[in-house]
């Protein structure tokens, strides 16, 4: 198999990159049948964004702080591990933003799209699902829409639900909600379009972020799951992503 190795800029990842290239060779990305990403989850997200157009699977090895999307690092036996690996398909969220100047922006998120207040003033947001207003005013620090793969990241820290990978749902989770005080969010069918409108953008500015792409001073944000821009991740059988998501629900608090 023609492999291309990509690594984060940490010393440990760069050293592993040199060893793996020496052992297994390295081809230009455009000729690769598989991408091997060396780093943490943040680097994996950047790899998915950078090389998504190649439409080849990605096999990650953990050489960073967080490795939920990664396999364990080992130098030996890589071809055999790849041959045994399970495939998980991830479909990103599409973010369409109109900012305060009327400029349109777009972004993709494999984890989540989040809105956050930019000042000491709480955000005032209208929440619409498809064509129906569900919350006329949500007062909060922010709100996020998460994919199943991202549900154990920022979404979980905001007390959102963990979603099974094959559940075909998204999580809509408020961040420090003030009104409605007891609203904890919703689980949505994956084809739902979420439209978030900032009610007082001048006094209460809000930013929107798709993974690591941020737009500031937003007025409206439309979010929907893409059905044709998916990526394939490979996982060792003993560390497959579906099992990790299930196990996370029983992790010690």
**Is there a catalytic annotation at residue 211?**
no
Q: Measured between alpha carbons, how far is 116 from 93 in angstroms, rounded to an integer? A: 17
Across the strands, what pairs with 183? Answer: none
For residue 13, give the H/E element and its range. Answer: helix 11-24
Where do we find the tokens 């599409």?
94
Question: Where in 131-183 does DSSP place strands (E)?
Answer: 132-140, 142-146, 169-175
Q: Which of 41, 99, 131, 200 is catalytic?
A: 41
Across the strands, what pairs with 251? Answer: none
Phi and psi for 152 in degrees, rounded to 5?
A: -95, 5
> What is the DSSP annotation of 73-108?
P-STTHHHHHHHPEEEEE-PEEEEEEETTS-EEEEE
Q: With 0-12 CB in 10 A as exposed, 13-18 as middle and 19+ as buried, what is 132?
A: exposed
Yes or no: say if 175 and 114 are a contact pair by the CB < 8 Å rule. yes
Q: Is 212 left (phi over 0), alpha (psi -120 to 50) or beta?
A: alpha
For residue 241, give the H/E element and its range. Answer: helix 241-248
Q: What is the 8-class DSSP label of residue 143?
A: E
Phi and psi for 136 in degrees, rounded to 5?
A: -70, -35
- Known catalytic residues? 41
């Amino acid at each position: 198999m023609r492999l291309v190795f990509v690594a984060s800029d940490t010393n440990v990842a760069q050293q592993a990159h040199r060893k793996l290239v020496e052992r297994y060779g390295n081809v230009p990305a455009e000729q690769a049948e598989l991408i091997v990403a060396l780093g943490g989850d943040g680097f994996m997200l950047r790899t998915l964004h950078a090389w998504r157009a190649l439409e080849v699977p990605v096999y990650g090895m953990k050489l960073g702080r967080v490795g939920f999307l990664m396999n364990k690092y080992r130098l030996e036996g890589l071809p055999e591990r790849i041959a045994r690996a399970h495939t998980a398909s991830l479909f990103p969220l599409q973010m369409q933003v109109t900012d305060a100047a009327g400029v349109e922006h777009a972004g993709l998120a494999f984890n989540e799209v989040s809105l956050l207040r930019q000042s000491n003033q709480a955000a005032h947001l209208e929440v619409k699902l498809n064509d129906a207003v569900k919350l006329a005013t949500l007062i909060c620090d922010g709100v996020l829409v998460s994919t199943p793969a991202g549900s154990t990241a920022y979404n979980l820290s905001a007390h959102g639900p963990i979603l099974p990978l094959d559940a075909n749902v998204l999580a809509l989770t408020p961040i420090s909600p003030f009104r409605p005080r007891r609203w904890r969010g919703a689980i949505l069918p994956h084809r739902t379009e979420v439209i978030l409108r900032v009610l007082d953008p001048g006094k209460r500015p809000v930013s929107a972020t798709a993974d690591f792409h941020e737009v500031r001073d937003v007025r409206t944000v439309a979010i929907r799951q893409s059905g044709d821009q998916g990526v394939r991740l490979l996982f060792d059988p003993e560390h497959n992503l579906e099992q990790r998501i299930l196990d996370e629900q029983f992790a010690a608090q």
